[in-house]
């Protein structure tokens, strides 16, 4: 018995060490800092016309956390902002703790009838700056209505898929695709919009988040080079 005791003690110590390492590996992800996602956008991001806690950013963060994602979503939305405005404040929005960027800009360029090439250039500069910082980007697409003409619509709508391909960004095709099953029929959209017919109400945001959330979740979980 005395000759076997040291071996028994060694085996017990080794088993304890292995169990401790397993426990550390299990809980270490829980102790990690949450990811920080900056949502750079306009009134659609800022939560225009909605009670506190019902805008895109708080609803999206709540959805992600309910799915187990450790993430803080920072509201960098400014009502009325164009792509030029978003670009002008990009540097101070991308603080050192930021891990990823979501861009929802272009709607005001389109509503004002600004040249699509200007919006394209500004969004390209945003993506280039994010790339220089090593930040992955989720680019949220926008589509122009037909009242500016077919040429304008074709040029504007192509901005987002073109830039996503050029810069290796992740594309979410259309901000409003979660509303009314993707229908653009004004009658189908009306129950989910505020009285201005442009901005989603709280239920509309919830529908948008239900569709957008899985895309954001997959984007954040994707391996980075």
Active site (catalytic) residues: 43, 196, 199
CA angle 217, 223, 224 (to 5 degrees): 115
Q: At what angle do helices 116-132 and 150-157 cross, to 10 degrees?
A: 0
Asked whether the beta carbons of 141 and 104 are under 8 A apart, the reply is no
Instruction: Name the DSSP letter for residue 200.
Output: B
Q: Return d(Cα 78, Cα 41) in angstroms, integer.
A: 6
- Could you give the C-alpha distances from 162 to 120, 150, 204, in angstroms and in order? 9, 18, 28
Nearest Cα to Cα of residue 224 among 101, 108, 55, 141: 101
């Amino acid at each position: 018995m005395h000759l076997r005791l040291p071996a028994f003690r060694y085996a017990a110590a080794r088993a304890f060490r292995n169990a401790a390492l397993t426990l550390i590996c299990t809980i270490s992800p829980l102790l990690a800092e949450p990811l920080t996602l900056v949502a750079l956008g306009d009134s659609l991001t800022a939560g225009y016309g909605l009670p506190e806690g019902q805008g895109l950013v708080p609803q999206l963060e709540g959805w992600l956390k309910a799915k187990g994602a450790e993430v803080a979503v920072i509201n960098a939305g400014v009502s009325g902002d164009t792509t030029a405005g978003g670009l002008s404040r990009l540097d101070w929005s991308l603080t050192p703790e930021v891990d990823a960027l979501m861009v929802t800009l272009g709607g005001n360029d389109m509503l004002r009838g600004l040249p699509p090439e200007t919006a394209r250039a500004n969004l390209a500069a945003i993506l280039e700056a994010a790339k220089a910082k090593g930040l992955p980007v989720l680019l949220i697409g926008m589509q122009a209505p037909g009242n500016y003409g077919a040429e304008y619509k074709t040029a504007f709508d192509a901005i987002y898929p073109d830039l996503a391909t050029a810069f290796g960004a992740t594309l979410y095709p259309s901000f409003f695709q979660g509303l009314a099953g993707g229908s653009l029929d004004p009658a189908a959209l009306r129950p989910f919009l505020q009285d201005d017919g442009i901005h989603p109400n709280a239920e509309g945001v919830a529908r948008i988040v239900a569709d957008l959330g899985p895309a954001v979740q997959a984007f954040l979980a994707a391996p980075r080079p």
